[in-house]
Structure formats: structure tokens, C-alpha cells
Amino acid sequence: MIFDMDGTLCDVRRIRHLIDGPGSFHAFHTASVDCPPHAWVVDAARAHHAAGRAVLVVTARSARYRHHTAWWLALHGVPSEAMWMRGRQDHRPDYAVKRDILASIRRRYRPVMAYDDNPEVIRLWREEGIGVEVVPGWDTTA
């Protein structure tokens, strides 16, 4: 089971305004550690984990924020077998990053479901034959 981070597990609506172009992600990712979870998505991750399914966190966040991300997941009790992140110097669109991550995932796993909020990434998952649970809120702020 693939779970996106920002906007999916982590409710970032109140900090989306911090993204105002390239280079603005540092403030966003730093502030995200204080964002609440989308409880129903975290509950789904826990349920999949309890049922013996691998919970895979796949985020377009830079690997620079691995510690922030792991801390947030632990704080909110999100089980994860593995976490994939964007390379530090990778500035491609999220869907391109996640397409490459998916190729790596498929070497070990057979993902059948993804939880995501990004329309371009949702389209990617569907094109790849992966079911999607769409998390609303991509274009909203709190």
C-alpha cells in the first residue's frame, strides 16, 4: 500500500501558502512537522499494516527532509515498512519522481493501492494499474 505524505497522511492545508515557487519548500517542510494528520488516512495505514500489508511511504519531499518525515510518522504512529523520497537535487515534477520510485518499488513489492491527493500523481497510479484512494484537498487551504 502506497501512502503519499504531504496532503495525504499529513494535513498541510494550513501551510500550503508557504509554497510560492522554487526554493520555498524549506519553510513548508520545516513547518509540516507541526501539521496534524488526516486521521482517516493514518487509520487506513494502520489497518493495512495490521492486516499484514506493507505500508510504503512514497513522497516527493526531498531526501533532505528524511529526518523531519520519519519524526512526523513516528509521532503520529504511522507504520511504514519503507520510505522513498525525491533525490536532493531532483527538481522534476512529482509524477516523474514517483514514476521512477514505483519502478524501484516493483522490484520488491506488488502495490495494489495508493493514497494520494495530487491529480497528476493519481493519474500516474491509475495508468500503472494501481487503485487509488483520492484524498481531497489538493487545492485548498485551511
| pLDDT at 115 > cutoff 90 | yes
d(CA 142, CA 110): 35
| pLDDT at 92 > cutoff 80 | yes
Cell of 19: 509554497
Residue 128's pLDDT band, with cuts at 50, 70 and 90, is very high
Go through the chain and tell me how many residues it has.
142
**pLDDT of 63-87, one tens digit each?**
999 999 999 999 999 999 999 999 9
**Beta bridge mates, 116:** 134
Mean pLDDT value of segment 87-105: 94
**pLDDT for residue 99:** 98
**pLDDT for residue 49:** 98
Average the pLDDT over each of 17-26, 80-89, 116-125 and give the range with the smallest value: 17-26
Give 141 or 51, the one with higher predicted confidence. Answer: 51
How many other CB atoms are there within 10 angstroms of residue 122's CB atom? Answer: 21
By the 8 A CB rule, do 45 and 12 touch? no
Residue 25's pLDDT band, with cuts at 50, 70 and 90, is confident
pTM over 0.85: yes
CATH topology of domain 2-134: Rossmann fold (3.40.50)
Residue 4's pLDDT band, with cuts at 50, 70 and 90, is very high
Among 46, 120, 42, 56, residue whose Cα is nearest residue 84: 56
**To 5 degrees, how large is the angle CA 26–CA 122–CA 36?**
45
SS3 127: helix
